[in-house]
Amino acid sequence: MSGTFVGMPTFPKNAAKAVQDSQLRFNLRKATHTIRGKRASVVGELDDWAELREAGKTIKDHTLRHLDDYLIQMEEKVTAAGGTVHWARDAAEANRIVARLVKETGETEVVKVKSMATQEIGLNEALAEEGINAYETDLAELIVQLGDDFPSHILVPAIHRNRAEIREIFLKHMAGAPKDLSDEPRALAEAARVYLRQRFLEAKVAISGANFMIAETGTLVVLESEGNGRMCLTLPKTLISVVGIEKLLPTWQDLEVFLQLLPRSSTGERMNPYTSMWTGATEGQEFHLVLLDNGRTSVLADKVGRQALRCIRCSACLNVCPVYERAGGHAYGSVYPGPIGAILTPQLRGMDTPLDRSLPYASSLCGACYEVCPVAIDIPAVLVDLRGKARHTRAEKAGMAAAGWVFNRSKRLAKAQRFGGRMRKLVPKRLPGPLSGWTDTRDMPDIPAESFRDWWMREGKR
C-alpha cells in the first residue's frame, strides 16, 4: 500500500492526539450524524433490505470462490470490445503499467476520478516521479490535494474539514479562486467547477477506478455525484481504469442488487446523481483496464478474513463507528480508515509494524459496523480473529496466561477472590502501569468482602 503513512505511531497514540482536537471532533460528529440519519431513512424505505443484503453477501462470496474464472471472462469481454487488459501483482507493477501507458500518449498531465485503488498503490506519487502530474477532480480529493493533506474517509476524504477550513484552503492554494469566496457550500462547489472546467476540456488522459466490473458483459461501472467522473470517463482520448480484482460481479443482473445497496449505504440517497457504465473502447476512446492484486489474493486465502473482500467501499461502517467518530480517519494510518480499514489494512499490509498491529484493537467491538454493512461483513469477528494472529507483548501474554490458569479451576478463582476480598482496603485509587489507563478517568469499584460464590456457599443455596 501507499508509502505516505509509513512510520506512523500506533492507533492509540494517533487517536489520543485526535480526541484533543475539538474542531476535528465537532466536524466529524456533525458529518457522521447527518449521514447516519439519512442512511437510516432511505434504508428503511426498502422492505426487502435484509434480502438485498443477503444477496449482496452471497453474490460476492460466490464471485470470490470463482474469481479466476470470472477474471478470465472479464478479460475476454473487455478485449473483444476493443479494450486492453493488464495484470498487476502489486502496487509497483500497477504504477509502472500506468506510467508507461500515459507516456505512450505523450502527455504529462492526467485527470483523475476518485479511486481508492489508485490511492492504495500511491499512483499520484509514482506518476510524479515519472514527471506526470495527476489532477484529482473529486471535490473532496481536490480539497485534500490542494491542502497537501491525507484523506480521512473513504467516501468523503476531506470529512475532517469544515466549510470555513475548505474556504481557507481554496483561497490559499486554488489558482484563480475569487478573493471574496464565501464559505457557503454552493460557492465552494462553484469555485471548484470553474477551476476544473478547462482542465476537463483539455485533458487527453484520464485515470479512474471502478465500483463494479461485470464479467458476463465486460462492463465497468462508476458511481459518483458531481459529474467529474462523467467528465473524466467520457472526454479524454485515453481512459485507464485501475481496479481491484475483487470488484467483479458475475452477471449484469447482479448489478440490480448493488445499485440498491451502495447509494443508500453510502451517501444515504435513493440513487447517486450519476452512474456511468461502459464496455471496452467506447465512443472512440482508447481503453485500458489494469487488474490489481496487491495483497488481495493473500486476504482471499484467509478463511475468516476473506469476507473483507466483499467490501463495496460504501463507508457506512465509518459513519456509525464511535471510535472513528472520535479518532478520525488519519489515526488509522491508511487510505482505508474506520472499521473496514482496521480489518483490511492489516490483511493487505501484514502486521509487521506497531501501527498495523494496533489496528485490530481499534474497536470496542460494539457491532454497529456489522449491523449497517450492506454485504454483511462481520467486522467484529474478523477483528477478533486478527487479534489472535497479532504478536502480543510478553507482559500481556503472562497476564492472560495467569487469568486462564485461575479460570481453569473454580477453586483457584474462589481463592483469588478471597485473597482480593482480604486485600480490598489496600487497592490504590490509581493503578500502576498499563492499568492506569483505567484509573486515569474512572474510579475503581469497591471490592466486596465476599464473592458471590462464597455467599452462595454460606447462605445462598437452600
Site for another protein in 323-382 (CB under 8 A): 323, 326-327, 360-368, 370-371, 381
The three grid cell numbers given for residue 304, joined into one nine-digit string: 475468516
CA pseudo-torsion sign 41, 45, 46, 47: positive
Tell me the backbone φ, ψ of residue 62, rounded to 5 degrees.
-65, -45
In terms of CB distance, is 6 or 452 closer to another protein?
Answer: 452
- On whether the CB atoms of residues 225 and 47 are closer than 8 A, the answer is no
Q: By C-beta, is 108 or 234 nearer to another protein? A: 234
* Range in contact with another protein (rule: CB under 8 A) among 125-133, 172-180, 320-328, 345-353: 320-328
Task: Tell me if 197 contacts another protein by CB under 8 A.
Answer: yes
* Separation of alpha carbons 130 and 105, rounded Å: 14
3-class SS shares of the chain: helix, strand, coil, % to 5: 55, 10, 35
Contact 132, 110 (CB under 8 A): yes
Residues 95, 241, 272, 345: which binds another protein (CB under 8 A)?
272
DSSP H helices, 45-87, are: 49-65, 67-80
**Shortest gap between Cβ of 2 and another protein (angstroms)?**
20
Would you say 1 or 372 has its CB closer to another protein?
372
CA–CA distance, 307 with 393 (Å, rounded to integer): 28
By CB under 8 A, name the one of 1, 5, 8, 15 that touches another protein: 15
Question: Using CB under 8 A, which of 5, 150, 170, 200 touches another protein?
Answer: 200
Contact (CB, 8 A) for 287 and 4 = no
Query: Which one of residues 21, 89, 131, 352 is an interface residue with another protein (CB under 8 A)?
Result: 89
Determine, following the binding rule CB under 8 A, whether residue 444 of this chain makes contact with another protein.
yes
Stretch that binds another protein, among 117-125, 205-213, 273-281, 333-341 (CB under 8 A): 273-281
Q: Considering only residues 8, 24, 35, 359, which one is a binding residue for another protein as defined by CB under 8 A? A: 35
Q: Are 370 and 364 in contact (CB under 8 A)?
A: no
- Asked if 435 is part of the footprint of another protein (rule: CB under 8 A), the reply reads yes
Neighbours of 381 (CB within 10 A): 16
- Ranges assigned E (strand) in 189-326: 205-208, 212-214, 219-224, 238-244, 248-249, 274-279, 286-292
Q: Considering only the stretches 121-129, 297-305, 337-345, 348-356, report the one whose residues sit in contact with another protein under the rule CB under 8 A.
A: 297-305
With binding defined as CB under 8 A, does residue 82 bind another protein? no
**Nearer Cβ to another protein, position 210 or 231?**
231
Residue from 4, 9, 79, 93 binding another protein (CB under 8 A): 93
CA separation for the pair 171, 286 (Å, rounded): 37
> Residue 12 interacts with another protein (CB under 8 A)?
yes
The residue among 125 and 269 lying less far from another protein, judged by its C-beta, is 269
Determine if 73 is a binding residue for another protein (CB under 8 A). Answer: no
Closest to 383 (Cα-Cα) out of 298, 304, 318: 304
For another protein, the closer CB: 17 or 108: 17
Nearest to 219 by CA among 287, 284, 314, 300: 287
Amino acid at 207: I
| Of the candidate residues 6, 23, 34, 131, the single one contacting another protein (CB under 8 A) | 34
> Quick one: which segment of 120-128, 159-167, 202-210, 334-342 binds another protein (CB under 8 A)?
159-167
**Contact 309/84 with Cβ under 8 angstroms?**
no
Considering only residues 206 to 265 of the shown chain, the ones binding another protein according to CB under 8 A are 214, 216-219, 225-228, 230-231, 233-235, 245, 252-253, 255-257, 259-260
The Cα–Cα gap between 376 and 307 comes to 9
Evaluate whether 7 touches 319 at the Cβ level (below 8 Å): no
**Which range touches another protein (CB under 8 A), out of 119-127, 171-179, 341-349, 441-449?**
441-449
- Give the interface segment with another protein, choosing from 1-9, 174-182, 268-276, 342-350 (CB under 8 A): 268-276
Q: What's the chain's Rg over C-alpha atoms? A: 25
Site residues for another protein, 103-132, by CB under 8 A, read none
Nearest-angstrom CA–CA distance, 388 and 360: 10
One residue of 92, 128, 301, 423 binding another protein per CB under 8 A:
301
Q: Which of 101, 203, 291, 355 binds another protein (CB under 8 A)?
A: 291
Footprint of another protein on residues 381-420 (CB under 8 A)?
381, 384, 386-390, 392, 396, 400-401, 403-404, 406-410, 413, 417, 420
Amino acid of residue 115 = S
